[in-house]
Chains A and B, each alone.
Chain A
Amino acid sequence: MSERELNILVGGEAGQGLATIGPLLAKCLVRSGYQVVVTQSYESRIRGGHNTFAVRAGVEEVAAPREAVDVLVALNEETATLHRGELTPRGVVVAEEAFAAGGENVVAVPYKELAAGRYRNVASLGVVTCLLGLPEDLVRQVVEGYFGKKGKAVEENRAALAAAYAWTKDLDPSLARPLAPVTDPPRRLTLNGNQAIALGAVSAGAKFCAFYPMTPSTSVPLTLIAHAEELGLVVEQAEDEIAAINMALGASYAGAPALVATSGGGFALMVEGVSLAGMTETPLVVVVAQRPGPATGLPTRTEQADLEFVLRAGHGEFPRALYAPGTVEECFHLTRRAFETTQRYQTPAFVLTDQFLADSFRAVEPFDAEGLEAVGAFAEPEAVAEPYERFAVTADGVSPRLLPGFSRHLVVADSDEHTEDGHLTEDLTARTRQVEKRRRKEEGLRREVIPPTYEGEPRPEILFVSWGSSRGAVAEAAAELASAGTATATLHFAQVWPLVPEQFLGHLEGAQRVIAVEGNASGQFARLLRAEAGVDVASRVSRYDGLPLTPEYVLRALES
């Protein structure tokens, strides 16, 4: 008997190898042709504590984390104790024999016999992949891809894997949980949200990133750094977030498509710089990976509570665009889109992600690498009117942008209100004209808004509204309701600003009951819908305990 879908939870202390086994397990599953959704839950510490890495794997598409566990891999005793209650009736526990309690469906592993200390990670990976029915050759290739193919460690890892497979194959077959094999598995990438954001940025021609480390955003610059030399990027760790955003603005003014990545507290420090980007009309992509606040909050957990903050960040009035990816693919495509938008409209664009999506590995179709074009939208020095005016008043509010130093034209940008040539002014007529010019860019931004995705019955009993990373949980909850006979639909927003009510008002009015699902306590997106579209979303599902939304959570909330 084989399974169509399994939820595997690996748990242990920080430093026990979770960060190695987890991604390797995900990659083995993706290479074998399965879809995966990874959920990482960890504490703000480098050693000790209790961390988990959950992989939900399916032959068919899986879109969200699930709570019930089919295979519990306990690297320490605490994991076995804490998560036993989440096991399905047929759930299997894999644990070291020393602390594996007796009972049915327990795989008590004699790790000491299988491998020496530092190779036990690979042994436990092997036990799990063998139970799941993954070929040993494939797993060995993935392990060698990670640890390299040379040196003593290769032999030790290979031996640990072989020992694990030999030992596991001898077990009572009732303990195995093989996934139905996928014939001719498609070639997919194993990527998490932040890696996809970094790749989306470089695909658009990003050349500069400055950052100050902050969970859960740091893996964006780390991914960029890993490829910086090959792709001709400059990435610099700044002395603080204020420096990071001002460096990025200086680089962007001088022509380098630039991004910064941070989380709530770091973004708070960047806010004056956001306003500077708006005033100097300097392109900039800001990635904000949300975690629960206020202040330091829960540094390693997830939340969607910075929507209003990012939307309003920066004193004064200037246009902006906010994208909120719901999948790892969208992390790539919306980051590219953010670069296109910020270059075209010379105003900041934001990518709003969160810890759950940032750390969530998925199986991703390879992106098209053919003929990638840089998004830099610069005017030709020969084509501009003389004398050149960086902030020339135009019909669409976008002024021809030249780069400093490339011609005899001078490029002057000022954080003070300025005349069309960029110099500071106290002329209040010039002020009014510049305010109106900047605002006219909003019309173009609104024309290019990505409409929300509507799926399901045309006039449903229940319409779920969601944005950003809760997309998958809402889609699966809706599918369950629909299969139980309730006419259901979903309306998902991948762009949360600007909002264009004509794109979705009909959907909201056509539903008997509209339920906004979001990972914050106060219903920020529901409030935005009321402000912008005049729609009162009466029902809300909110999650703010630091964990991602799940289909089970949404359905439980409906029942209560």
Chain B
Amino acid sequence: MVQAEDYGRYETAWCPGCGNFALLEAVKEGLARADLAPHQVLFVSGIGQAAKAPHYLNANVFNGLHGRSLPAATGARLANAELKILVQSGDGCNYGEGGNHLLAAIRRNVDVTMLVHNNLVYGLTKGQASPTSESGFATKAQPHGPTAEPFNPLAAAVAMGASFVARGFVGEGEHLAELIKQAVGWRGFSLVDILQPCVSFNKLNTHAWFKKRCYKLSEDYDPTVREAALEKAYEWGDRIPLGVIYRREREAFENKFPATAAGPLGVQPVDSEAFARILEKYY
């Protein structure tokens, strides 16, 4: 059995008290519970404090551009469907810069797990509003609060019929590890929005603020009913639900490409006979 310790423990560049620490531990625990060894896993990340997370564990890593993790993960998945791929980045990277790719990934149903560190603020660039920042959240860049309404990633994902939509909270580490285990075990696109405080730049949505509001969905909540899921996805304010909000069986994206059935593309030979046949078509 794989142990969380197999994923190692490294020094980080994060602030003391950052929500990322608990999140990182939950990721390791979730992968270990799914019995995935480090070399079987590929993390694709973007830019931001969250996107550094894969550097602090043992795994394959493609740490690409800001906002572009999903396309890179999509390409990697098509090239090698034997890899277990996780996208890991923050709310700015995934919901702002890379918003178009999120819509496309949900539509495609790419078999990757997207872990969004959602602290409702930009940390790396020091405290500007993020796509999920609440109205009235004043920053140096938005002295009167964000000029746009916050993005609701769960409602958007449910409305688009995403295959697996969940929310975790770093203050509920055991629950979060279990959610991650379920997400990586799910066949299709899985979104796990993870609430966390930013101790340096978000003085509104603090650990205590989340702790007071977050509650776990009860055992008898049925995540397969879209209307109910949408209602849960909109629940925000006094009470914030945690757990699998919505689930829907869908055909995996790579099944639409017959070439992927032969195994990883990188080790497939050139079919000289097929090439010769194709040349004939141009005669």
Measured CA separation A254–B270 after assembly (Å): 18
A19 at interface by CB-CB < 8 Å: no
- Nearest-neighbour CB distance to chain A for B62, whole angstroms, equals 5
B39:A405 contact, CB within 8 angstroms: yes
B260 — which chain A residues lie within 8 A by C-beta? 234
A251:B75 contact, CB within 8 angstroms: yes
B38 at interface by CB-CB < 8 Å: yes
A424:B63 contact, CB within 8 angstroms: yes
Measured CA separation A231–B91 after assembly (Å): 40
Query: Pick the contact of B259 from A188, A233, A244, A414 — CB < 8 Å?
Result: A233
B266 — which chain A residues lie within 8 A by C-beta? 207, 254-257, 376, 378, 403
A80 at interface by CB-CB < 8 Å: no
B1 at interface by CB-CB < 8 Å: no
Interface size, chain A (Cβ < 8 Å): 75
Query: Pick the contact of A207 from B68, B258, B268 — CB < 8 Å?
Result: B268
When C-beta atoms are compared, the residue in chain A nearest to B38 turns out to be A410
B76:A250 contact, CB within 8 angstroms: yes
The digit string for B33-54, where 1 denotes a CB below 8 A from any CB of A, is 0000111101010010000100
A520 — which chain B residues lie within 8 A by C-beta? none
Query: Pick the contact of B265 from A190, A207, A416 — CB < 8 Å?
Result: A207
B58 — which chain A residues lie within 8 A by C-beta? 410
When C-beta atoms are compared, the residue in chain B nearest to A231 turns out to be B274
A369 — which chain B residues lie within 8 A by C-beta? 272-273, 275-276, 279
A423:B75 contact, CB within 8 angstroms: no
Known: A369-B272, A405-B80. A410 touches B259 (CB 8 A): no
The digit string for A215-256, where 1 denotes a CB below 8 A from any CB of B, is 000000000000111111110101110111011111111111
| In the complex, chain B residues 42-95 whose Cβ is within 8 Å of any chain A Cβ | 42, 44, 47, 52, 55, 58-65, 68, 70-80, 82-83
Known: A208-B78, A251-B75, A405-B39. A372 touches B275 (CB 8 A): yes
Known: A230-B277, A234-B260. A405 touches B271 (CB 8 A): no
A77 at interface by CB-CB < 8 Å: no
B78:A246 contact, CB within 8 angstroms: no
A404:B101 contact, CB within 8 angstroms: no
B76:A251 contact, CB within 8 angstroms: yes
A408 at interface by CB-CB < 8 Å: yes
- Nearest-neighbour CB distance to chain B for A410, whole angstroms, equals 5
Measured CA separation A441–B172 after assembly (Å): 49
Query: Pick the contact of A413 from B61, B78, B82, B274 — CB < 8 Å?
Result: B61
B61:A246 contact, CB within 8 angstroms: no
- Nearest-neighbour CB distance to chain B for A391, whole angstroms, equals 12
Interface size, chain B (Cβ < 8 Å): 58
A422 at interface by CB-CB < 8 Å: yes
A232 — which chain B residues lie within 8 A by C-beta? 259, 262, 265, 268, 271
B225 — which chain A residues lie within 8 A by C-beta? none
- Nearest-neighbour CB distance to chain A for B161, whole angstroms, equals 17
State the main secondary structure of chain B at its contact with A.
helix
Question: Which of A35-43, A53-61, A160-168, A195-203 interfaces with chain B?
Answer: A195-203
- Nearest-neighbour CB distance to chain B for A304, whole angstroms, equals 26
A242:B68 contact, CB within 8 angstroms: yes
B103 at interface by CB-CB < 8 Å: yes
Known: A250-B62, A250-B71. A415 touches B259 (CB 8 A): no
A208:B278 contact, CB within 8 angstroms: no
- Nearest-neighbour CB distance to chain B for A539, whole angstroms, equals 40
A205 at interface by CB-CB < 8 Å: yes
Query: Pick the contact of A251 from B60, B265, B271 — CB < 8 Å?
Result: B265
The digit string for A379-413, where 1 denotes a CB below 8 A from any CB of B, is 00000000000000000000000011111111111
- Nearest-neighbour CB distance to chain B for A351, whole angstroms, equals 19
A195 — which chain B residues lie within 8 A by C-beta? 282
Query: Pick the contact of B282 from A189, A247, A372, A416 — CB < 8 Å?
Result: A189
Measured CA separation A403–B259 after assembly (Å): 19
B272:A370 contact, CB within 8 angstroms: yes
- Nearest-neighbour CB distance to chain A for B252, whole angstroms, equals 14
A371 at interface by CB-CB < 8 Å: yes
When C-beta atoms are compared, the residue in chain B nearest to A227 turns out to be B278
A372:B76 contact, CB within 8 angstroms: no
A253:B72 contact, CB within 8 angstroms: yes
- Nearest-neighbour CB distance to chain B for A430, whole angstroms, equals 14
A207:B62 contact, CB within 8 angstroms: no
When C-beta atoms are compared, the residue in chain A nearest to B266 turns out to be A255
When C-beta atoms are compared, the residue in chain B nearest to A364 turns out to be B282
B55:A414 contact, CB within 8 angstroms: yes
B61 — which chain A residues lie within 8 A by C-beta? 410-414, 422-423
Query: Pick the contact of B79 from A208, A373, A412, A422 — CB < 8 Å?
Result: A208
B159 at interface by CB-CB < 8 Å: no
- Nearest-neighbour CB distance to chain A for B219, whole angstroms, equals 36
B16 — which chain A residues lie within 8 A by C-beta? none
A410:B79 contact, CB within 8 angstroms: no
A246:B259 contact, CB within 8 angstroms: no
A280 at interface by CB-CB < 8 Å: yes
- Nearest-neighbour CB distance to chain A for B107, whole angstroms, equals 9
B55:A423 contact, CB within 8 angstroms: yes
B237 at interface by CB-CB < 8 Å: no
A230:B65 contact, CB within 8 angstroms: no
Known: A190-B282, A374-B269. A254 touches B257 (CB 8 A): no
Known: A208-B78, A232-B265, A246-B72. A253 touches B62 (CB 8 A): yes
B259:A404 contact, CB within 8 angstroms: no
B39:A243 contact, CB within 8 angstroms: no
B73 — which chain A residues lie within 8 A by C-beta? 250
Query: Pick the contact of B42 from A228, A280, A364, A404 — CB < 8 Å?
Result: A404
B264 at interface by CB-CB < 8 Å: yes
- Nearest-neighbour CB distance to chain A for B94, whole angstroms, equals 14
- Nearest-neighbour CB distance to chain A for B55, whole angstroms, equals 5
Known: A187-B283, A404-B42, A407-B39. A234 touches B78 (CB 8 A): yes
- Nearest-neighbour CB distance to chain A for B281, whole angstroms, equals 9
| In the complex, chain B residues 122-180 whose Cβ is within 8 Å of any chain A Cβ | none
Measured CA separation A204–B270 after assembly (Å): 7
Measured CA separation A448–B279 after assembly (Å): 29
A546 at interface by CB-CB < 8 Å: no
B208 at interface by CB-CB < 8 Å: no
When C-beta atoms are compared, the residue in chain B nearest to A408 turns out to be B39
The digit string for A335-375, where 1 denotes a CB below 8 A from any CB of B, is 00000000000000000000000000000101101111110
A243:B78 contact, CB within 8 angstroms: no
Known: A207-B259, A227-B278, A252-B75. A246 touches B65 (CB 8 A): yes
> What are 28 A-B pairs with beta-carbon distances under 8 A?
A188-B283, A195-B282, A202-B270, A202-B278, A228-B257, A230-B271, A232-B262, A232-B268, A242-B68, A243-B70, A243-B71, A246-B72, A247-B74, A250-B64, A250-B76, A250-B77, A251-B79, A253-B79, A276-B64, A367-B279, A372-B270, A372-B272, A376-B267, A404-B39, A405-B83, A413-B61, A415-B65, A423-B61
5 tightest Cβ-Cβ pairs between the two chains A and B: A255-B266, A250-B75, A250-B72, A251-B75, A247-B75
Chain A interfacial positions (CB closer than 8 Å to B):
31, 187-191, 195, 199, 202-205, 207-208, 210, 227-234, 236, 238-240, 242-244, 246-258, 272-273, 276, 280, 364, 366-367, 369-374, 376, 378, 403-416, 422-424
